[in-house]
Structure formats: C-alpha cells, structure tokens
C-alpha cells in the first residue's frame, strides 16, 4: 500500500508526534509498504509528484527525537515559507489523497481533537484511528469525565474551570492535579499540595488552554490499558524514577520503569480491563486507543483520561502492551492500518 505517515503540527506535543511518526514509517516500510513521512504543517514545497514521492519512500521531515523541553511553536511557524496560520501545509491534502490511507502520527491540537479527522472525512481521505466526534470527546477531559460518570466509569472528584470565571477559589480538596482541559503528554500539568500553590498552577495550565480541569489527587499506582479493535491489552504499570510522571519522564529514556504485564492480582487486572473497554465504548472510539488509570490501595481503578491517538515513540506504552501478547511493533502498526480500513467497510 501507499501510506502517508502524517506528523508534526503546531501543538506542544509536536516532538512526540515526529518521534512516533519516524518509527511508524520505518516499521511500515519493513512490511513492504511505500511510505511518505510528511509534516502536516510544513507540507511539501518541492516539485516531485505524489507517485514519485511514494516510489522513493521520501522522508519530508527530519526526526530529531523528543527534547526535554516543549517545542518553540513560533520558531516552527517562522520556518515555513509563508509563515501562515493554516494548519495544512502545501500539498499535504494532495499527497494524502493519493495514498491508500494516512497514518495519523499526531498528538494534541488539531491532529487529535477531531478537526483534522473531520476535514479528511469531508474530502473522502481515509485515515487511521477513530472518527472526528469520538476524537473530540476524548480530547476534552471535561466532557469525557462527564460521560464516564454517566456510564459508571470511576473517576476522581473534579471540576472544570474556564479562564477568568473567578471561581477557582471554591476548590477545597488538596492535594490535587491541575491540567489543561484539552492537553496531553502532561504539558501544563501540576500537582498542587496546598492552596498557596494553587494560583501559580492554574496560571501555568491556562498558558495551554482556555479551560482547565482540577482533580483530586488519588494516591496509588499508575497504569495504562490499550484497546486494539475489540481486544483489551494487558495493563502496563508506570513507575517514574523521579516520583512524578511528567513530560520529561514520559519521553526521556531511563526516567520511567514500565512493567508489562503488570504485577497485579487477577481481580485488579479484570477491573482495569473492564473499565478501559467501558471508557472506549462510552466515547465511541474506533480502531485503537489507550486509557490511563490510578489504582488505589483498595483496588479501585480511577480513569484519568482516554487517548484517541496513543504515543508510538520508543518509550511509548501501547507498543509494550501489544508486545506482551506477541504483537511486535511493525505488526502493531500494520494491524492499526487494517483496523482503521475496516471502519470504512462498517
């Protein structure tokens, strides 16, 4: 097949997306597919035809790995010839239209919130992962929390706040977690121990979104559970060596210990798998996704969020969960393509 691996973009998770995309492109090529590795924002300004780009397996973006700090978005904009605000770079849609399917290796912003999925639907271009509506629901933590509560997926005490609504002082539960409503990769996330730390953490979260979520901190072990089609993968435990699973711990090798299958009881395993599948179905997710949990000392699993486009970097969780049941990385990428194409037949 001809496959575009679409990556980059303008979110704070740009580096994560490119790191994921580079590995995905290499894996799909190892399976015999022709792959164009393309930045959704920078696009392609050369004169080769789509046919030539696929026949030459062109990398149109350089994968430099994930830096310790979030990327400078203004510098990225300045690097495009027109410095434009249009999310779609030159020739992106034409190249994707030529492909059999576009593999979304995108995180955050327009790539994960349903906007790009909707644009592709309108233009009749096939893509991996879920549809526009479920992507939007999963991206908005305030909405997804409300839906989880309705379907009895356990969540912590929490509340959504809007910029300048001046109601944050009513929050009275500490410690707590403050994070952007539609962010990811722990960008803008802060653990707050007391009221004195509250305002600074709120200000930090509002740098990345006009809405934030404040949640009671649940003391427990952190896990992630992937869903591949209708198969729930084994839970993986996340143990940051720094004590907190922040942006740096997620993407810098050696800062987190991950155990899969996790060392948990059969009952705990079943609790999280059932909750992961319930969350997946509640949001209407398709093809694949990943749900994150905190397991407390009583064996209760609190769903933190759903990830409609899970990371696929060398340190990402979903590939490790798939490997635990015998699915190697390249086969996982190809399986995602197969499941995504099947949603169009349905």
Q: What is the pLDDT of residue 244?
A: 55
Question: pLDDT by residue (tens digit) across 122-143?
Answer: 999 999 999 999 999 999 999 9
Note whether 28 and 97 are same-domain residues: yes
Note whether 212 and 225 are same-domain residues: no
Q: What is the pLDDT of residue 108?
A: 81
Q: What is the pLDDT of residue 284?
A: 97
Number of neighbours of residue 87 by Cβ within 10 angstroms? 16
CB distance 283 to 134 below 8 Å: yes
Torsion of CA 254, 321, 125, 36, to 10 degrees: 40
Burial letters 201-230, b for 16+ CB under 10 A, else e = bbebbbebbebbbbbbbbebbbbbbbbbee
Note whether 238 and 123 are same-domain residues: no
CB distance 59 to 37 below 8 Å: yes
Q: Tokens 């575009």 map to which residue?
A: 4
Note whether 110 and 234 are same-domain residues: no
Q: Is 274 exposed, middle or buried (0-12, 13-18, 19+ CB in 10 A)?
A: middle
Q: Which regions of the chain are under pLDDT 70?
A: 183-186, 242-255, 314, 346
Q: What is the pLDDT of residue 63?
A: 80
Query: What distance in Å separates the CA atoms of residue 310 and residue 173, rounded to the nearest whole number?
Result: 30
The parent domain of residue 63 ranges over 2-127
Those residues with Cβ within 8 angstroms of residue 170's Cβ, 6 or more apart along the chain or in another chain: none
- Tell me whether the omega of the peptide bond preceding residue 175 falls within 30 degrees of 0, making it cis: yes
CB distance 318 to 329 below 8 Å: no
Number of structural domains found in the chain: 3
User: For residue 74, is it within any domain?
Assistant: yes
What integer best gives the mean pLDDT of the chain?
92
Note whether 181 and 268 are same-domain residues: no
CB distance 40 to 92 below 8 Å: yes
Question: pLDDT by residue (tens digit) across 148-187?
Answer: 999 999 999 999 999 877 788 889 999 999 999 886 556 7
Q: What is the pLDDT of residue 252?
A: 53
User: For residue 132, is it within any domain?
Assistant: no
């Amino acid at each position: 097949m001809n496959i575009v691996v679409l990556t980059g973009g303008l979110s704070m998770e740009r580096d994560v997306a490119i790191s994921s995309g580079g590995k995905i492109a290499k894996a799909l090529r190892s399976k015999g597919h022709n792959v164009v590795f393309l930045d959704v924002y920078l696009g392609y300004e050369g004169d080769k035809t789509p046919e030539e780009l696929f026949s030459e397996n062109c990398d149109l973006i350089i994968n430099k790995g994930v830096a310790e700090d979030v990327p400078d978005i203004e510098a990225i904009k300045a690097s495009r010839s027109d410095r434009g605000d249009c999310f779609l770079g030159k020739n992106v849609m034409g190249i994707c239209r030529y492909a059999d399917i576009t593999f979304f290796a995108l995180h955050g912003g327009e790539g994960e919130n349903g906007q790009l999925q909707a644009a592709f639907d309108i233009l009749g271009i096939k893509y991996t992962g879920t549809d526009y509506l479920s992507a939007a629901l999963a991206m908005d933590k305030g909405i997804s929390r409300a839906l989880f509560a309705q379907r009895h997926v356990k969540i912590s005490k929490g509340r959504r706040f809007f910029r300048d609504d001046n109601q944050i002082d009513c929050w009275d539960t500490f410690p707590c977690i403050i994070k952007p409503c539609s962010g990811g990769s722990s960008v803008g996330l802060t653990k707050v121990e007391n009221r004195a730390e509250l305002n600074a953490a709120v200000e930090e979260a509002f740098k990345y979104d006009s809405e934030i979520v404040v949640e009671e901190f649940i003391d427990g072990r952190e896990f992630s559970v992937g869903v591949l089609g209708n198969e729930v993968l084994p839970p993986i435990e996340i143990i940051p060596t720094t004590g907190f699973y922040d942006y740096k711990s997620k993407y810098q090798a050696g800062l987190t210990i991950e155990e899969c299958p996790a060392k948990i009881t059969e009952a705990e395993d079943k609790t999280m798998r059932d909750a992961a599948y319930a969350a997946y179905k509640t949001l209407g997710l398709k093809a694949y996704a990943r749900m994150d949990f905190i397991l407390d000392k009583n064996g209760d699993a609190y769903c933190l969020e759903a990830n409609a486009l899970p990371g696929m970097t060398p340190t990402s969780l979903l590939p490790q969960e798939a490997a635990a049941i015998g699915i190697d990385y390249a086969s996982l990428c190809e399986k995602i393509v197969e499941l995504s194409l099947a949603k169009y037949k349905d």
